[in-house]
């Protein structure tokens, strides 16, 4: 006796799936038939391509002059982008990768081709044979200035205070890793002690920036690890001046977001042109109020109104890509040990 | 007609497919790995993972007993609404639910405000207790619903007989309810333990620091940051081993219940009065408060943004709905096939195949499938089909656990009758099996659909850049500081998830011949 209903369901499902595959196949044929213009495949993190992200403006701007089609392919965040690229290996379709940061570039370098240097206006000297910076920000602790009137001026003051902070996990998020590098760059071998002193200030450690920032806005903590530019969003987009970033005397660590040309690209000229466009005035202006970061190459028009209210760290910290790579594992272990006590 | 060997074949095929999919994806990672080593921190992660999962499942299942019992024997206005709403926490996306829990139990929430008013010290939600609390918030409803099905499966005649014999409550509990609990609890404990085993965001967000690291976080770190495929695969294998061990132990501990068939009609039960009535009322009220308050907080946060929903919301919603419906359909057919086979011929391999996905990390599964397929299918085209397949696989265990006890009951009570009547399989399914299983099937399909709406673990690595699903959109909105729009989009997500769940559950209810 056959158990026929599941079979029947399965046959229906098979029919449906066949139809789907057929449709997918037709779509491929249709797109490749249309693809007489060259296609530049850009691998980036997914919020870059969202409607309020920089992606749409940059795609439209570049397509005006390149005689090509820009096709975005996305993965979760900078780390996921690199993981995706490594998974695909030499079979990748990606021509350009946008959105790694300097904590990841040493790892990624073998997959990228050398490129011509472009000028940048970063607060520290920065040059890389394979990666061009497109925006950057200082990490900072953001607080509500209506509730906290005298913010701490250093990690030591923060550790000595009763303030509650929420931070991101360096094992799962790029800001979390940035904070780890910040403490390491500022305090070197004293870093474990700083972490041990901070332990009672840390309310919790979140998997990503979104959870941490959400908790801070909901009042779970007095301060959150974010960027000096975070208050600009609230000020410009929400007309809310209640958020500030605390200025630390030991200096602020930088997150520098970079783009590069994939070594296996079949569109090297287009890829170069795209990287050049990314640092042009048009693209740089679009990035400021979509990514809420500083432009890597200051456009002629300067920064939008509101940015002048942000704190200006006197000292910028940035480890080289190689230092960041070799420090990551031991620094995570130090951090884990200090906070597990 | 006497024996039906053919029926095992679809189940066997399915079991092999699931095993190949899950173990195969881990194997793909191992093949690509350059080293196979665990980090020292992985062992403490393993300890914490097991500890929080064990505590969470124990607390959830224990609290579910008085709640399910009260809901089963009391009739009050809004009872059926309440039993449906019970599922709401379970179908919430984790990020949203955690913010809801924090709004209630957090530093600026009403619980601490009340404590402060009483002059008591504030309560911190962060730590092991916070992780357990959140896990209970998610899983108490599931445990309650599973137990409620168990209570409903005890024929009403037995309760009437007990009442006619003037059996005291304690004897009624011992003879009718305890055997049911002994049959149900191992499965419930296992399911919740395994769900909590794979939890990652809850433990990390509410755990208060790296002490609260789980295996899933270690997998995430290994895959995303270290690109250490070997370590990720080893960790995944540890999760599988844990899952297999627990499933085997549960199968050994499960006792069959043997009430025999009743008249198969639901009838109002004689409910004890006296002090037990206010106790039941208190239990139900406490549960409503505990589960309802965070939900209300989420809804309240989402309402203001509803007037200016973000662009792209409805396309994302449609994409999510399609994913959810297809995943639910696949999972339901698969679970029914496996549960029917397991009910006829109990076999450990069926249990193992059906429970294995619970221990599978969505990230490992997605990555493994990506490695298998990316040479043949362009990643942009596999995003949605792979998501559907992975969601269906990951939700299969819930459905299986929900259907199995009642599938066994139906086989025990009706199989001989069906066979002696020579009823063809189609008719047996239509008139005997489906009507009796429609309640758990509808509920399970609803859960599967809602979970697939909320799931985003898989698509994160292989999204095509052209279309976000709704949970991904919420994540993007928060990432772009758009908290109000994110809250509103979450509300839409919750509404749709719950709507799907409600629809399936209602369909199940209509078809139930009772």
pLDDT in tens, B391-402: 888 889 888 888
Coil vs helix vs strand at A162: coil
Pairwise CA distance, residues A138 & B131, whole Å: 32
Which residues of A fall within a CB distance of 8 Å from B330?
A: 13
Q: Give the tens place of pLDDT for each residue, A99-119.
A: 999 989 999 999 999 999 888
Q: Is position A245 within any domain?
A: yes
Same structural domain for residues A164 and A40? Answer: no
Q: Give the tens place of pLDDT for each residue, B128-138.
A: 999 999 999 98
**A176 Cβ contact partners less than 8 Å away, ≥ 6 residues apart:** A167, A168, A169, A170, A205, A225
- Phi and psi at residue A173, in whole multiples of 5°? -145, 145
ipTM of the complex: 0.78
Pairwise CA distance, residues B394 & B386, whole Å: 12
Strand runs (DSSP E) across chain A, as ranges? 39-45, 69-75, 96-101, 112-113, 131-144, 165-168, 202-206, 223-227, 243-245, 252-262, 294-295, 316-317
Q: Is position B271 within any domain?
A: yes
Same structural domain for residues A335 and A272? Answer: no
Q: Give the tens place of pLDDT for each residue, B339-362.
A: 888 888 878 888 888 888 877 777
Q: Is position A26 within any domain?
A: no
- CATH assignment at residue B163: 1.10.3720.10
Range from A118-127, A329-338, B270-279 carrying the lowest mean pLDDT:
B270-279
Query: Which pLDDT score is estimated for A265?
Result: 94
Q: How do beta strands A112-113 and A316-317 pair?
A: unpaired
Instruction: Spell A46-67 as b/e; 16+ CB within 10 A means b.
Output: bbbbbebbbbbebbebbeeebe
Q: Give the tens place of pLDDT for each residue, B382-393.
A: 777 888 888 888
Q: Is position A158 within any domain?
A: yes
What are residue A227's DSSP bridge partners?
A: A139
Q: How far is CA B75 from CA B172, B272, B280, B325, B514, in A?
A: 19, 12, 11, 33, 16
Q: What is the length of chain B?
A: 514
Whether the per-residue pLDDT at A13 is higher than 60: the answer is: no
User: How large is the average pLDDT for residues B459-481?
Assistant: 71
Same structural domain for residues A201 and A52? Answer: no
Q: Is position B31 within any domain?
A: no
CB A328 within 8 A of CB A177: yes
* Option in A1, A47, A86 nearest B480 (CB): A47
CB B442 within 8 A of CB B336: no
Sign of CA dihedral B466, B469, B470, B472: negative
Mean of per-residue pLDDT scores for chain B = 82
User: How large is the average pLDDT for residues A149-156?
Assistant: 96
Question: CA B63, B64, B70, B73: dihedral to nearest 10 degrees?
Answer: -150
Query: Which pLDDT score is estimated for B268?
Result: 58
Same structural domain for residues A168 and A216? Answer: yes
Residue bearing the bigger pLDDT, B210 or A56:
A56
Query: Which pLDDT score is estimated for B459?
Result: 55
Going by pLDDT thresholds of 50, 70 and 90, the confidence category of residue B3 is very low
Q: What is the DSSP letter of B428?
A: I
Whether the per-residue pLDDT at A145 is higher than 70: the answer is: yes
Query: Which pLDDT score is estimated for B380?
Result: 67
First CA to last CA distance, chain A: 64
Pairwise CA distance, residues B219 & B359, whole Å: 12
Pairwise CA distance, residues A15 & A11, whole Å: 6
Pairwise CA distance, residues B410 & B514, whole Å: 14
Whether the per-residue pLDDT at A203 is higher than 50: the answer is: yes
Q: How many CB atoms lie within 10 A of CB B299?
A: 15
Same structural domain for residues A90 and A196? Answer: no
Query: Which pLDDT score is estimated for A33?
Result: 46
H-type alpha helices, B173-312: 178-197, 201-207, 215-224, 229-253, 276-302
H-run or E-run covering A192: helix A191-198
Same structural domain for residues A67 and A212? Answer: no
Establish if A4 touches chain B: CB-CB under 8 angstroms.
Answer: yes
Residue bearing the bigger pLDDT, A114 or B372:
A114
CB B436 within 8 A of CB B446: no
Count of structural domains, chain B: 1
Pairwise CA distance, residues A206 & B202, whole Å: 9
- CATH assignment at residue A205: 3.40.190.10
Whether the per-residue pLDDT at B205 is higher than 60: the answer is: yes
Going by pLDDT thresholds of 50, 70 and 90, the confidence category of residue A29 is very low
Same structural domain for residues A205 and A147? Answer: yes
Query: Which pLDDT score is estimated for B162?
Result: 81
Same structural domain for residues A199 and A287? Answer: no
Whether the per-residue pLDDT at B20 is higher than 70: the answer is: yes
User: How large is the average pLDDT for residues B318-334?
Assistant: 91
Pairwise CA distance, residues B19 & B369, whole Å: 13
Which residues of A fall within a CB distance of 8 Å from B482?
A: 52
Q: Is position B35 within any domain?
A: no
CB A299 within 8 A of CB A284: yes
Query: Which pLDDT score is estimated for B256?
Result: 58
Query: Which pLDDT score is estimated for B315?
Result: 87
Q: Is position A203 within any domain?
A: yes
Whether the per-residue pLDDT at A5 is higher than 50: the answer is: no
User: How large is the average pLDDT for residues A134-140?
Assistant: 96
- Reference B403, options B139, B144, B149; nearest CA is B149
Range of the domain at B159: 5-26+45-300+307-511
Q: Do B95 and A214 touch (CB under 8 A)?
A: yes
Q: Is position B40 within any domain?
A: no
User: How large is the average pLDDT for residues A323-328?
Assistant: 93
Which residues of A fall within a CB distance of 8 Å from B207?
A: 204-205
Q: Is position B341 within any domain?
A: yes
Whether the per-residue pLDDT at B30 is higher than 80: the answer is: yes
Chain A interface test: which of B232, B350, B465 (most A C-beta within 10 Å): B465
Q: Is position A261 within any domain?
A: yes
User: How large is the average pLDDT for residues A66-78?
Assistant: 87
Range of the domain at A288: 33-136+256-305
The first and second tokens of residue B60, run together, are 């959830």
Same structural domain for residues A222 and A319? Answer: yes
Same structural domain for residues A177 and A314? Answer: yes
Mean of per-residue pLDDT scores for chain A = 88
Same structural domain for residues A179 and A328? Answer: yes
Going by pLDDT thresholds of 50, 70 and 90, the confidence category of residue A34 is low
- Reference A281, options A265, A266, A297; nearest CA is A297
Establish if A233 touches chain B: CB-CB under 8 angstroms.
Answer: yes
The first and second tokens of residue B120, run together, are 């008591």
Q: How far is CA B170 from CA A46, B72, B283, B514, in A?
A: 59, 17, 19, 28
User: How large is the average pLDDT for residues B486-493?
Assistant: 88
Q: How far is A270 from chain B (nearest CA, A)?
A: 20
Please tell me the pTM assigned to this model. Answer: 0.81
Same structural domain for residues A219 and A281? Answer: no
Count of structural domains, chain A: 2
Pairwise CA distance, residues B388 & B397, whole Å: 15
pLDDT more than 70, % of chain B:
91
pLDDT more than 90, % of chain B:
13
User: How large is the average pLDDT for residues A140-151?
Assistant: 96
Q: Is position A7 within any domain?
A: no
- Which range, A50-54, A92-96, B170-174, has the best average confidence (pLDDT)? A92-96
Establish if A144 touches chain B: CB-CB under 8 angstroms.
Answer: no
Going by pLDDT thresholds of 50, 70 and 90, the confidence category of residue A166 is very high
User: How large is the average pLDDT for residues B205-214?
Assistant: 82
Q: What is the length of chain A?
A: 341
């Amino acid at each position: 006796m056959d158990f026929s209903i599941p079979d029947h369901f399965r046959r229906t499902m098979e029919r449906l799936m066949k139809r789907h595959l057929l449709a997918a196949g037709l779509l491929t044929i249709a797109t490749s038939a249309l693809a007489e213009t060259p296609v530049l495949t850009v691998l980036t993190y997914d919020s870059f391509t969202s409607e309020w992200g920089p992606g749409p403006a940059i795609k439209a701007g570049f397509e005006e002059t390149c005689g090509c089609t820009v096709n975005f392919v996305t993965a979760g965040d900078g780390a996921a982008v690199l993981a995706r690229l490594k998974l695909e290996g030499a079979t990748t379709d990606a021509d350009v990768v946008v959105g790694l940061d300097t904590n990841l570039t040493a790892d990624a370098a073998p997959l990228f081709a050398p490129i011509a240097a472009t000028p940048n206006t970063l607060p520290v000297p920065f040059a890389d044979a394979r990666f061009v910076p497109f925006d950057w920000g200082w990490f900072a602790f953001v607080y509500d200035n209506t509730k906290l009137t005298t913010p701490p001026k250093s990690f030591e003051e923060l550790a000595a205070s009763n303030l509650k902070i929420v931070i991101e996990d360096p094992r799962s998020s790029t800001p979390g890793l940035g904070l780890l590098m910040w403490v390491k760059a500022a305090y070197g071998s004293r870093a474990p002690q700083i972490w041990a002193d901070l332990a009672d200030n840390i309310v919790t450690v979140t998997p990503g920036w979104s959870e941490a920032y959400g908790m801070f806005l909901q009042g779970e903590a007095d301060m959150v690890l974010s960027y000096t530019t975070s208050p600009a969003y609230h000020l410009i987009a929400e007309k809310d001046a209640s958020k500030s970033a605390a200025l630390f005397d030991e200096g602020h660590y930088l997150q520098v977001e970079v783009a590069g040309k994939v070594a296996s690209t079949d569109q090297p000229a287009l890829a170069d042109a795209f990287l050049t466009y990314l640092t042009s005035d048009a693209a740089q202006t679009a990035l400021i109020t979509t990514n809420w970061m500083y432009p890597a190459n200051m456009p002629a028009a300067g920064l939008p109104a509101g940015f002048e209210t942000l704190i200006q760290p006197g000292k910028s910290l940035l480890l080289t890509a190689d230092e960041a790579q070799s420090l990551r594992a031991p620094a995570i272990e130090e951090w884990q040990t200090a906070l597990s006590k | 007609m006497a024996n039906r060997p053919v029926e095992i074949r679809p189940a066997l095929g399915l079991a092999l497919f699931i095993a190949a999919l899950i173990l195969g994806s881990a194997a793909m990672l191992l093949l690509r790995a350059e080293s196979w080593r665990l980090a020292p921190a992985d062992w403490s992660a393993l300890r914490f993972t097991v500890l929080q999962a064990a505590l969470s499942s124990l607390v959830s299942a224990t609290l579910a007993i008085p709640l399910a019992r009260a809901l089963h024997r009391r009739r009050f206005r809004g009872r059926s609404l309440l039993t449906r709403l019970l599922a709401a926490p379970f179908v919430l996306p984790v990020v949203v639910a955690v913010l809801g829990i924090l709004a209630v139990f957090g530093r600026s929430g009403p619980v601490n405000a009340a404590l402060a008013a009483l002059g008591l010290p504030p309560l911190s939600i962060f730590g092991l207790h916070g992780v357990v609390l959140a896990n209970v918030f998610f899983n108490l409803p599931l445990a309650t619903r599973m137990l409620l099905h168990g209570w409903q499966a005890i024929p009403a005649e037995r309760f009437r007989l007990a009442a006619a014999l003037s059996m005291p409550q304690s004897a009624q509990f011992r003879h009718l309810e305890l055997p049911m609990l002994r049959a149900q609890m191992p499965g419930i404990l296992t399911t919740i333990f395994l769900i909590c085993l794979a939890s990652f965001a809850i433990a990390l967000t509410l755990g208060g620091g790296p002490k609260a690291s789980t295996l899933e976080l270690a997998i995430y770190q290994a895959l995303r940051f270290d690109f250490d495929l070997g370590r990720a695969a080893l960790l995944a294998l540890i999760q599988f081993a844990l899952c297999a061990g627990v499933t085997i132990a549960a199968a050994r501990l499960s006792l069959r219940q043997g009430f025999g068939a009743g008249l198969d009609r639901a009838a109002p039960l004689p409910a004890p009065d006296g002090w037990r009535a206010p106790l039941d009322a208190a239990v139900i009220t406490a549960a409503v408060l505990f589960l309802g308050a965070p939900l209300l907080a989420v809804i309240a946060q989402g309402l203001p943004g509803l007037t200016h929903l973000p662009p792209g919301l409805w396309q994302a919603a449609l994409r999510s709905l399609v994913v959810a419906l297809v995943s639910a359909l696949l999972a339901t057919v698969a679970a029914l096939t496996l549960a029917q086979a397991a009910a006829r011929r109990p076999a450990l391999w069926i249990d193992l195949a059906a429970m294995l996905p619970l221990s599978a990390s969505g990230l490992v599964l997605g990555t493994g499938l990506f490695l298998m397929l990316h040479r043949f299918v362009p990643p942009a085209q596999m995003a949605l089909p792979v998501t559907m397949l992975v969601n269906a696989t990951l939700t299969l265990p819930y459905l299986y656990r929900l259907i199995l006890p009642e599938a066994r009951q139906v086989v025990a009570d009706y199989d001989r009758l069906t066979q002696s009547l020579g009823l063809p399989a189609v008719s047996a399914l239509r008139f005997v099996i489906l009507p009796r299983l429609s309640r758990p099937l509808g509920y399970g399909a609803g859960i599967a659909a809602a979970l697939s709406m909320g799931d985003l673990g898989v698509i994160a690595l292989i999204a095509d850049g052209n279309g976000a699903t709704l949970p991904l959109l919420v994540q993007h909105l928060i990432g772009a500081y758009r908290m109000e729009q994110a809250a509103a989009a979450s509300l839409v997500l919750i509404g749709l998830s719950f709507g799907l769940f409600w629809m399936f559950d209602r369909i199940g209810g209509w078809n139930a011949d009772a």
